[in-house]
């Protein structure tokens, strides 16, 4: 039965029916319809529509990659209210604080020699020591050592800061990064673009417009990037839709975004700890509405270290077609913010297992979504059983 046929039998308003018809017909929904979905779209309704879009774009595939993270430092000149991970420079002696040297970072890369990782994800705090010459040298060193390793590095928050310090334009700076070996940009630093919210939670760092400008320049250099949205704190529904609307408009212009990654606000040990975290139902609704709204994005990702494995599994029925990578215990951003995943690391077999158990096809991708290996029928030598995940009932 088609999604619309199911809705015909339900007691839906005319507004719900109009939106369902649009999605079924592959038409774009408006800003007001996006807000309407947040206000009046229950989980079953938005989920069914999001799944339609997801399967139209990506069939039954769920993508993952084999990657590791380098977080150069958690010292930061900024003081974002939601950040549990950063330490201000005055807390440099704090036992939780770290600062990697060029050699430290290069040694992390070398630890993966001979291992089948395809991507290194580099993002951390913002410090004057980590400047344009530092990152140029780091990217060149990594590329000289392992040319095929995809470098996904730094956000407009870092780029804005280091280019300003070096007195170079965004355009010149991004060209230097490309020439040094940066392959793509991760989606971080986006938070909520709308100044009403951004000024309260991330006052001093790059603005929403500057974030978008740097991505646009990068896309115009022929390169790809991701986009995130930090949700579930003080923003209202219309701020979320505004955030996605700005992304949708830029994507219409450049086509350079690959993946949208909603990031659930986690409230441990930060200046917004008094704010309750969003519920699992809200998290799934948010994945679904973003899948419906961002009709020109190919992929929506559930970042499992942050959302947890169980919700990541459920999200695959609510618009998500990507669950990020193995990560290998190389990120602290979420464990310090209260995520269930204290040492985020999954083997390839565990990731494949998570995806299979909810009836999707596990596909290993590289950063640019080229297929590395289709794991649909791959048998693992050792059959390890992982408990605690959701499994589909076996239907005879």
Q: Where along the sequence are the contacts to ligand V47 (CB under 6 A)?
A: 82-84, 123, 186-189, 191, 226, 228, 230, 261, 263, 265-266, 270, 303, 324, 333, 337
126 binds ligand SF4 per the rule CB under 6 A: yes
- Placement of tokens 């949700």 in the chain: 231
Among ligand V47, ligand SF4, none, partner that 125 touches (CB below 5 to 8 angstroms by kind): ligand SF4
Least gap, CB of 231 to ligand SF4 (angstroms): 15
Exposed/middle/buried for 81, CB within 10 Å: 0-12, 13-18, 19+?
middle
Least gap, CB of 187 to ligand V47 (angstroms): 4
Coil, strand, or helix at residue 185? strand
First-to-last alpha carbon distance for the chain, in angstroms, is: 20
Q: State which of residues 70, 76, 294, 346 lies at the interface with ligand SF4 (CB under 6 A).
A: 76
- Placement of tokens 């985020």 in the chain: 344
Interface of this chain with ligand SF4, residues 282 to 301, rule: CB under 6 A: none
- The token duo for 229 is 């949205």
Least gap, CB of 206 to ligand SF4 (angstroms): 9
16 touches 24 (CB < 8 A) = no
Helix ranges (DSSP H) in the chain: 3-8, 14-24, 31-40, 43-58, 102-110, 132-145, 156-166, 170-180, 195-201, 208-220, 237-254, 280-293, 304-307, 309-315, 348-356
Distance CA 345, CA 351 (A): 10
Q: Which CB atom, from 78 or from 369, has the smaller least distance to ligand SF4?
A: 78
Q: Which CB atom, from 173 or from 325, has the smaller least distance to ligand V47?
A: 325
Q: State which of residues 51, 62, 86, 367 lies at the interface with ligand SF4 (CB under 6 A).
A: 86
Least gap, CB of 10 to ligand SF4 (angstroms): 42
Looking at the DSSP bridge assignments, the partners of residue 61 are: 361
125 binds ligand SF4 per the rule CB under 6 A: yes
Among ligand V47, ligand SF4, none, partner that 186 touches (CB below 5 to 8 angstroms by kind): ligand V47
Give the x/- contact pattern for ligand SF4 in 204-243, rule: CB under 6 A: -x--------------------------------------
Among ligand V47, ligand SF4, none, partner that 142 touches (CB below 5 to 8 angstroms by kind): none
Q: How far is CA 241 from the centre of its chain?
A: 17
Choose one: 3-11, 76-84, 140-148, 172-180; the region binding ligand SF4 (CB under 6 A): 76-84
User: Cα dist. 279→36, 82, 233, 333 in Å?
Assistant: 19, 18, 12, 20
User: Cα dist. 42→124, 234, 344 in Å?
Assistant: 37, 21, 31
Q: How many residues bind ligand SF4 (CB under 6 A)?
A: 12
Secondary-structure breakdown of the chain: helix, strand, coil percentages, each rounded to the nearest 5: 40, 15, 45
Least gap, CB of 80 to ligand SF4 (angstroms): 3
Q: State which of residues 78, 134, 369, 389 lies at the interface with ligand SF4 (CB under 6 A).
A: 78
Least gap, CB of 125 to ligand SF4 (angstroms): 4
Residues lying near ligand SF4 in the complex (CB under 6 A): 76, 78-80, 83, 85-86, 125-126, 157, 202, 205
């Amino acid at each position: 039965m088609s999604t619309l046929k199911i809705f015909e039998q339900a007691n839906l308003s005319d507004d719900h029916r109009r939106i369902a018809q649009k999605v079924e017909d592959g038409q774009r929904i408006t800003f007001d319809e996006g807000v309407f979905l947040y206000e009046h779209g229950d989980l079953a309704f938005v989920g069914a529509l999001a799944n339609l879009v997801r399967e139209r774009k990506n069939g039954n595939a769920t993508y993952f990659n084999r990657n590791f993270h380098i977080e150069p430092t958690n010292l930061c000149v900024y003081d974002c209210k939601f950040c549990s991970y950063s330490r201000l420079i005055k807390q440099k002696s704090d036992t939780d604080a770290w600062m990697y040297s060029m050699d430290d970072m290069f040694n992390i890369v070398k630890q993966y020699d001979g291992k089948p990782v395809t991507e290194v994800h580099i993002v951390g705090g913002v410090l004057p020591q980590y400047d344009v010459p530092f990152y140029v040298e780091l990217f060149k060193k990594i590329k000289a050592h392992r040319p095929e390793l995809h470098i996904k590095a730094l956000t407009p928050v870092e780029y804005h800061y280091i280019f300003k310090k070096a007195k170079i334009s965004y355009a010149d700076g991004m060209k230097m990064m490309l020439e040094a070996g940066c392959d793509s940009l991760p989606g971080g630093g986006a938070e909520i673009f709308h100044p009403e919210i951004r000024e309260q939670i991330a006052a001093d760092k790059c603005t929403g417009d500057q974030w978008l400008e740097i991505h646009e320049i990068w896309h115009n250099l022929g390169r790809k990037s991701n986009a995130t949205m930090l949700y579930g704190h003080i923003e209202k529904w219309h701020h979320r839709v505004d955030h996605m609307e700005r992304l949708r408009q830029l994507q219409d212009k450049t086509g350079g975004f690959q993946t949208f990654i909603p990031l659930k606000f986690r409230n441990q040990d930060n200046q917004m700890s008094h704010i309750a975290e969003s519920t699992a139902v809200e998290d799934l609704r948010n994945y679904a509405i973003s899948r419906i709204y961002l009709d020109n994005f190919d992929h929506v990702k559930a970042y499992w270290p942050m959302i947890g494995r169980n919700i990541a599994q459920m999200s695959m029925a609510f618009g998500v077609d990507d669950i990020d990578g193995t990560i290998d215990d190389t990120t602290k951003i979420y464990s310090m913010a209260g995520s269930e995943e204290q040492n985020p690391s999954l083997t390839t077999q565990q990731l494949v297992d998570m995806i299979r158990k909810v009836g999707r096809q596990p596909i290993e991708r590289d950063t640019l979504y080229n297929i590395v290996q289709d794991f649909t029928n791959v048998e693992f030598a050792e059959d390890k059983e992982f408990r605690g995940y959701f499994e589909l009932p076996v239907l005879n």
